[in-house]
Amino acid sequence: MESNPPPALRRSTSLERFAWLSIAAALATIALKTLAWWLTGSVGLLSDALESLVNLVAAVLALSMLRLAATPPDDDYPHGLSKAEYLSAGIEGALIVLAAAGILFTAIPRLVAPESLEAPLLGLGISFVASLINLGAALVLMRAGKRYDSITLEADGKHLMTDVWTSAGVIVGVALVFLTGWLRLDPLVALAVALHIVWTGVGLVRRSVAGLLDAAIVPGEQAEVTKIFKEYGNRYAVKFHAFRTRRAGVRRFISFHLLVPDEWSVQRAHQLSEEIEERIRELVPNSAILVHIEPISDPASYDDEDLDRM
């Protein structure tokens, strides 16, 4: 009889198909946008093609990081490798900034010495088709990122959506050059695109760094846990403190101290702890919970209220 694969492996297999979609979209848009640049000579369209190249690198990286994040826990990594998704988002942000540098390197000389564009309408049409491909892939990836709580897919989707807006700006710039004859509009749009790309890249890096530094779970999830504490505190003569949380990719880590009446048996305290843990897992999926049980009347129980127990 075949055994079912572990949840992490099932999740990885499910998410990998979205990474392959991103890779396919990047390859298609690179070909189309490079053709548009070759036909027109527009540095705006060239900047668009360069960003699509970054999209391809980021998509391949996302695929590898999703596989790494799905690695089951072992003796060396008892909490698994779910933080690999933050590495993917951070590196993708850095690649975006590098793409912006390439755009600046190309656009500034053209700003100093403008050149006329060739076949602008054909180039715009090809770029528009490439943008539609990116738009479809971005929407699918962002929805999947929220559904599966994957920062890797969400970052990749937002990156592609940024590419869509970038392409829209480039198309407008080339169209204005065609209508007005002002050649410097093309490199000016490329420079604006570069600044926008830098902003997106820095945002991705900041978010990934927050994850690598053990940021707390989102306020909404924290509020759900504190509601449970209040409910059980009113129902039983128990207290809670030293509430700590952190997140690592899709996983959530929650710890707290449960203070119970002195006359309670270990079994009763354990049963209540198990019940509370189950309630928390229902409200905060993929959570690993650590509970420390203490006697409520012992002054020593409050010594570490504001400190982590090492």
Q: Are 33 and 127 in contact (CB under 8 A)?
A: yes
The pLDDT of residue 310 is: 47
- Look up the pTM and report it: 0.59
What local confidence, expressed as pLDDT, does residue 182 receive?
A: 76
Residue 280 pLDDT: 94
Nearest to 69 by CA among 147, 146, 13: 13
Burial of 1 (0-12, 13-18, 19+ CB in 10 A): exposed
Contacts of 5 (CB under 8 A, 6+ apart): 13
Beta-strand pair 251-260/239-248: antiparallel
Residue 6 pLDDT: 46
- Domain 7-212 in CATH 1.20.1510.10? The answer is yes
pLDDT at 254: 93
Instruction: Show the CA angle centred on residue 172, arms to residues 166 and 173, nearest 5°.
Output: 90
The DSSP bridge partners found for residue 135 are none
What pLDDT, on a 0 to 100 scale, did the predictor assign at position 278? 94
**Residue 176 CA to chain centroid, in angstroms?**
35
Q: Which CATH class is domain 219-302?
A: alpha beta
CA nearest neighbour of 131 among 172, 83, 92: 172
CB burial of 201-216 (b: ≥16 within 10 Å; e: otherwise) equals bebbbebbeebeeeeb
Question: What pLDDT is recorded for position 305?
Answer: 67
**pLDDT per residue as tens, the chain (310 positions):** 444 544 544 555 567 788 888 888 888 888 888 887 787 776 666 766 776 777 787 788 778 777 777 777 777 777 777 777 777 777 777 777 776 776 677 667 766 776 665 545 676 777 788 888 989 998 998 888 878 777 778 777 877 877 777 777 767 776 777 777 777 776 777 777 777 777 777 777 777 777 777 788 888 899 999 999 999 999 998 999 989 998 877 778 999 999 999 999 999 999 999 999 999 999 888 888 999 999 999 888 887 766 554 4
Answer for the pair 195, 100: CB distance below 8 angstroms, yes or no. Answer: yes
Domain range annotation of the chain: 7-212, 219-302
- pLDDT number for residue 118: 55
